[in-house]
Amino acid sequence: MSTPTPLRMGSRLRASLLTVGAAVPVVAVVLIFVLSAAGGAQATQAPSAAQLLHTALSDANARGSVHEVESEKSSKVSGTLSADVSTHEGRQDITHSGGEQAHVLVVGGTAYFSGNQAALIHYFGLPAAVALKVGTRWVSVPSSSSGYSVVAAGTTLSSALGSFAIPGHLTQTAPTKVDGQPVVGIHGKGSIGGSASASLSVTVYVSRTSTPLPVRASYTYSTGGSVTLDLSGWGERLALHAPSNVIPTAQL
C-alpha cells in the first residue's frame, strides 16, 4: 500500500481558506517565508519592520527548538495543535473539530503517526479496513519513503519558521504586550492567489529584547477564519524517543 498523505491541522484550515471556497486539497499548503527576502523589495518598502523580522527569525533559527500552540477556526474547520519542534526532530498532537485526535512524531530519521479511528480514516486518509488493522499502533514511515516528507511536514524548526509569511508592505505596530511580555508587531496584508476580493492579514509579534524572538502570529482571512500561533520555550532540549508498538507502512 502506498504511504498515506495526512493533512496537518495547521495546514488544512489554511489550505481551505487559501483556495477560497474550493475543496480542501489532499496535499497540505505550506506558507513559505525565505529569510533572505527580508533584504529585498520588502526591506525597501519598510526597512525597519523587515529587518526586525529578519533578525527575529535568524535568532529563532539559532535557538534550535520551540514549543508551538496553534488554534484555528473557520465556519467549517476548527482545531488545536500542540507541537515541539527542533532542527531534525519534532512531535505534533492535533485535535480536530470532526472528532479526530492525531499524533505525529519524527525522530531518528523516521516519521511516525497514530490516532483514533476517525483520525486514521479522515485525517490520515487510510481506508477503513487498514485503519482497523492499525488500531492503536503507530505507523512508521522511513526517510527513504516517498511519503516521508508529507508525514514529517510541520515537525521541524524550518517548517515552523516557514509559517511566518507576511505579504505586502511591512509595517510595525505600536508596542504592546502578549501574555505580559513586551512585544512589537510586524504587519502585512496581501491578496490570496491573485484574487482582488480575497486577502490575508498577518501580524507577527516579536519580543522587545536585544535578541528578538517570535512570540505570536495572527492570521486573518477575508474569506472567513483565523489562526493564532503562540510560541515559547525557545532553545529548550527535546526528549523525543521512537514509540513502541509500531507497524511499518510497508505492511499496510
The DSSP element (H or E) to which 44 belongs, if any, is helix 41-45
Inter-residue contact 28 to 7 (CB < 8 Å): yes
pLDDT at site 32: 27
The DSSP element (H or E) to which 61 belongs, if any, is helix 47-63
Share of the chain above pLDDT 90, in %: 55
Whether the per-residue pLDDT at 34 is higher than 70: the answer is no
Task: Report the alpha-carbon angle 151-154-155, nearest 5.
Answer: 80
Q: Which three cell numbers stand for residue 122?
A: 479522515
Max Cα-Cα span within the chain: 56
Inter-residue contact 189 to 199 (CB < 8 Å): yes
Average pLDDT of the segment spanning 1-12 = 41
Q: Smallest Cα–Cα separation from 184: which of 35, 49, 46, 42? A: 49
Q: Which three cell numbers stand for residue 223?
A: 474569506
Give the model's confidence band at 196: pLDDT under 50 very low, under 70 low, under 90 confident, else very high.
low
Q: 137 vs 35, which has greater pLDDT?
A: 137
Inter-residue contact 170 to 186 (CB < 8 Å): yes
Average pLDDT of the segment spanning 20-30 = 26
Give the single-character DSSP code of 132: H
Average pLDDT of the segment spanning 38-63 = 72
Q: Output the pTM of the full model.
A: 0.77
pLDDT at site 39: 36
* pLDDT tens-digit series, residues 117-158: 999 998 888 999 999 999 999 999 999 988 888 888 888 898
pLDDT at site 151: 86
Average pLDDT of the residues of the chain: 80
As a whole number of angstroms, the distance between CA 48 and CA 53 comes to 9
- Catalogue all structural domains in the chain, each as residue range(s) with its CATH number: 9-251 (2.50.20.20)
Share of the chain above pLDDT 70, in %: 79
Give the model's confidence band at 166: pLDDT under 50 very low, under 70 low, under 90 confident, else very high.
confident
* pLDDT tens-digit series, residues 201-239: 999 999 999 999 999 999 998 888 888 999 999 999 999
